[in-house]
Structure 1
Amino acid sequence: MRVVMFGYQTWGHRTLKALLESEHDVVMVVTHPKSEHAYEKIWSDSVADLAEENGVPVAIRNRPDDDELFDLLKAADPDIIVANNWRTWIPPHIYSLPRHGTLNVHDSLLPKYAGFSPLIWALINGESEVGVTAHMMDEVLDAGDIVDQRAVAVGPTDTTTDLFHKTVDLIAPVTIGALARIAAGETEFTRQDRSQASFFHKRAEEDIRIDWGWPADVLERLVRAQSAPYPSAFTFHRGKRLEILSAVVSEGRYGGTPGRIFYREEAGVVIVAGSDARTGRNHGLAVTRVRTEDGRELPATEYFTSMGGYLTGRP
Structure 2
Amino acid sequence: MRVVMFGYQTWGHRTLRALLDSEHDVVLVVTHPKSEHAYEKIWSDSVADLATEHGVPVVIRNRPDDEELFARLKEADPDIIVANNWRTWIPPHIYNLPRHGTLNIHDSLLPKYAGFSPLIWALINGEQEVGVTAHMMDEVLDAGDIVQQRAVPVGPKDTATDLFHKTVDLIAPVTIGALDQIASGQAEFTRQDRSQASFFHKRAEEDIRIDWTWPAEALERLVRAQSAPYPSAFTFHRGKRLEVLSAVVSEGRYGGTPGRVFYREGDGVVIVAGADARTGRNHGLALTRVRTEDGRELPATEYFTSMGGYLTSRP
Distance 2:180 2:2 in 1: 13
Counterpart in the other structure of 2:275: 275
Residue deviations 1:265-315, cap 9 Å, x none? 000000000000000000000000000000000000000000000000000
Which secondary structure does the structure 1 equivalent of 2:40 belong to? helix
Which secondary structure does the structure 2 equivalent of 1:94 belong to? helix
CA shift, 1:116, in A, is 0.1
* Aligned residue pairs, count: 315
Which secondary structure does the structure 1 equivalent of 2:39 belong to? helix
The AA in structure 2 aligned to 1:83 is A
2:36 aligned with 1:40: no
Residue deviations 1:158-205, cap 9 Å, x none? 000000000000000000000000000000000000000000000000
CA shift, 1:30, in A, is 0.0
2:209 aligned with 1:209: yes
CA shift, 1:81, in A, is 0.0
2:51 aligned with 1:65: no
Distance 1:172 1:286 in 2: 39
Query: With structure 1 as the length reference, what TM-score do the two structures score?
Result: 1.00
CA shift, 1:76, in A, is 0.1
The AA in structure 1 aligned to 2:11 is W
Counterpart in the other structure of 2:313: 313
Counterpart in the other structure of 1:109: 109
CA shift, 1:219, in A, is 0.0
CA shift, 1:134, in A, is 0.1
CA shift, 1:24, in A, is 0.1
CA shift, 1:242, in A, is 0.2
| Pairing of 1:144-155 with structure 2 (within 5 A) | 144-155=144-155
| Pairing of 1:245-284 with structure 2 (within 5 A) | 245-284=245-284
The AA in structure 2 aligned to 1:258 is P
Query: With structure 2 as the length reference, what TM-score do the two structures score?
Result: 1.00
Residue deviations 1:38-64, cap 9 Å, x none? 000010000000000000000000000
Stretches of 4+ aligned residues off by more than 6 angstroms: none
Distance 1:169 1:87 in 2: 21
Distance 2:177 2:225 in 1: 29
CA shift, 1:140, in A, is 0.1
Counterpart in the other structure of 1:173: 173
Aligned-pair identity (%): 90
| Pairing of 1:227-238 with structure 2 (within 5 A) | 227-238=227-238
Distance 2:266 2:75 in 1: 66
2:108 aligned with 1:124: no
Residue deviations 1:112-162, cap 9 Å, x none? 000000000000000000000000000000000000000000000000000
Counterpart in the other structure of 2:13: 13
